[in-house]
A and B are shown apart, each in its own frame.
Chain A
Amino acid sequence: MTSLRLLLASILLCGFAYTAGILGFARKLVPERASGSLVLDARGKPIGSRLLAQSFSSARYFHPRPSACDFNARAAAGSNLSPAHPKLAERAADLIARHAASPARPIPADLVTASGSGLDPDITTEAALYQAERVARARGLDPGLVRKAVEDVHRPLMGRFGGPRLVNVLELNLALDRISR
Chain B
Amino acid sequence: MNTLSLALVFVATVAVLSWPLGRWLHWTLQPASEDSPAERLLRLVLGSGCARPGGWRNYVIALLVFNAGMAAISWLVLTWQHHLPLNPDGMGPVKPSLVFHTVVSFVTNTNLQHYSGEATFSHLSQLTLMWLQFTSAASGIAAFAALARGLSGNRNFGNFHRDTARILILFLIPLAVVWALAFSLAGVPMTLEGSASATTLEGAVQTIARGPVAAFLAIKQLGTNGGGFFGPNSTHPFENPGALANFMSLVAIPLIPMACVWTFGRILGRPSHARVVSAVMFAFLALKIVATVVPESSPASALKELPVIQSANLEGKELRLGATTGPLWAVLTTSTSNGSVGAMHGSLNPLSLLGPFAGLWLNSTFGGAGVGMINFFLFMILAVFVAGLMVGRTPEYLGRKVEAREMTLAAAAFLVHPFLILGGTALFCATSMGEATIANPGARGFSEILYEFSSAASNNGSGLEGLSDNTDAWNIATAIVMLLGRYLPIILPLAIAGSLAAKQPVALSSGTLRTDTPTFGLMVFAVILFLGALTFFPAALLGPVLEHLSL
A residues in contact (CB < 8 Å) with B: 1-7, 9-11, 13-15, 18-19, 21-23, 25-27, 29-30, 33-39, 45-49, 51-58, 61, 65, 71-86, 88-89, 92-93, 96, 101-110, 112-124, 126, 157-159, 161, 163-164, 166, 170, 173-174, 177
Residues from chain A with Cβ under 8 Å of B241 in the complex: 37, 51
Contact A22 B131 (CB under 8 A): no
Residues of A within 8 A of B232 (CB): 76-78, 116-119
CA A7 – CA B219 in complex, angstroms? 17
Contact A83 B161 (CB under 8 A): no
Q: B297 to nearest A CB, angstroms?
A: 12
Closest to A53 in B: B237
Task: Please provide the 5 A-B residue pairs with the shortest distance between their CB atoms, ordered closest to farther.
Answer: A116-B235, A2-B49, A80-B466, A80-B346, A83-B300
B171-203 vs A: 1/0 string, CB under 8 Å? Answer: 001001100110011011111110111111110
Establish whether residues A35 and B201, one from each chain, have CB atoms under 8 Å apart when the complex forms: no
Query: Would A46 and B199 be within 8 Å (CB), given that A14-B135, A166-B319 are in contact?
Result: yes
Name the one of A30, A79, A161 contacting B344, with C-beta atoms under 8 angstroms: A79
**Shortest Cβ distance from A82 into chain B, in angstroms?**
4
B191 pairs with A34, CB closer than 8 A: yes
Q: Pick from A2, A5, A6 the residue with the most CB of B within 10 Å.
A: A6
Per-residue contact bits, chain B 317-343, to A (CB 8 Å; 1 contact, 0 not): 111101000100000000000000111
Query: In the bound complex, how far is the Cα of B324 from the Cα of A164, in angstroms?
Result: 12
A106, B160: Cα distance in complex, Å: 61
Could you say which of A54, A57, A88, A110 contacts B206, with CB atoms under 8 Å apart? A54
Known: A105-B307, A159-B243. A10 touches B131 (CB 8 A): yes
The verdict on B306 contacting chain A, using a C-beta distance below 8 Å, is yes
A15, A18, A115: which contacts B128 (Cβ < 8 A)?
A15
Residue B458 at the A interface, CB < 8 A?
Answer: no
The yes or no answer to B532 lying at the interface (CB within 8 A) is no
CA distance A158 to B209 in the complex (A): 26
Contact with A5, one of B46, B135, B173, B196 (Cβ below 8 angstroms): B46
Known interface pairs A14-B131, A117-B318; A55-B202 also in contact (CB < 8 Å): yes
Q: Is the Cβ of B131 less than 8 Å from the Cβ of A106?
A: no
- Structural contact, A25 and B181, CB atoms closer than 8 A: yes
Residues of B within 8 A of A75 (CB): 116, 118-119, 231
Q: Are B201 and A10 in contact (CB under 8 A)?
A: no
Binds A, one of B64-72, B145-153, B284-292, B359-367: B64-72
- Please name the residue on chain B nearest to A108 by beta carbon: B309
Closest to B323 in A: A164
Contact partners of B199 in chain A: CB under 8 A: 45-47
Are the CB atoms of B168 and A34 closer together than 8 Å? no
* Chain A minimum-CB-distance residue to B465: A80
B11 vs chain A, min Cβ distance (A): 18
**Given A14-B168, A74-B119, A109-B308 contact (CB < 8 Å):** yes
Q: How far is the CA of A7 from the CA of B204 in the complex (A)?
A: 46
Judging by beta carbons under 8 Å apart, are B314 and A3 in contact? no
Q: Within the complex, which residue of A58, A74, A105, A120 is in contact with B207, where a contact is CB–CB below 8 Å?
A: A74
Cβ contacts under 8 Å, A15 to chain B: 127-128, 130-131
Interface 9-residue window, one of B210-218, B265-273, B515-523: B210-218
Cβ-defined contact, B237 with A23, below 8 A:
no
How far does the alpha carbon of A159 sit from the alpha carbon of B320 in the complex, in Å?
11
Q: Which residues of B contact A54 (CB under 8 A)?
A: 198, 200-202, 204, 206
Report yes or no: B309 in contact with A84, Cβ–Cβ below 8 A.
no
Residues on B with beta carbons closer than 8 Å to the beta carbon of A177: 201
Find out whether the CB atom of B118 lies under 8 angstroms from the CB atom of A74: yes
Asked whether A23 lies within 8 Å of B191 as measured between CB atoms, the reply is yes
Chain A residues closer than 8 Å to B187, beta-carbon distance: 30, 33, 37, 51
CB distance from A167 to the nearest CB of B (A): 9
> In the complex the two chains form, is A78's CB within 8 Å of B465's CB?
yes
Q: Does B551 contact A (CB under 8 A)?
A: yes
Do residues B307 and A35 form an inter-chain contact, with CB atoms below 8 A?
no
Are A78 and B346 in contact, with the CB atoms below 8 A? Answer: yes
Query: With contacts A74-B195, A77-B116 known, is A83 near B127, CB below 8 A?
Result: no
Given contacts A5-B47, A11-B131, A122-B319, contact A18 B119 (CB under 8 A): no
Contacts of A38 in B (CB 8 A): 196, 198, 208
Closest beta carbon of chain A to B409's beta carbon, Å: 26
Please measure, in the bound complex, the distance between the C-alpha atom of A72 and the C-alpha atom of B236, giving whole angstroms.
12
In this complex, which of B204, B210, B347 has the most chain A Cβ atoms within 10 angstroms of its Cβ?
B347
B310: interface (CB < 8 Å): yes
18 contacts across the A-B interface (CB closer than 8 A): A3-B65, A26-B191, A34-B189, A47-B201, A49-B238, A78-B344, A79-B315, A79-B347, A80-B344, A83-B300, A84-B301, A84-B547, A84-B551, A109-B300, A109-B303, A112-B303, A117-B232, A117-B237
In the complex, chain B residues 103-131 whose Cβ is within 8 Å of any chain A Cβ: 116, 118-119, 127-128, 130-131
With a cutoff of 8 Å between Cβ atoms, the chain B residues found around residue A48 in the complex are 198, 200-201, 206, 208
A18-B176, A19-B212 known; A10-B135 Cβ under 8 A: yes
Q: How far is the CA of A88 from the CA of B70 in the complex (A)?
A: 43
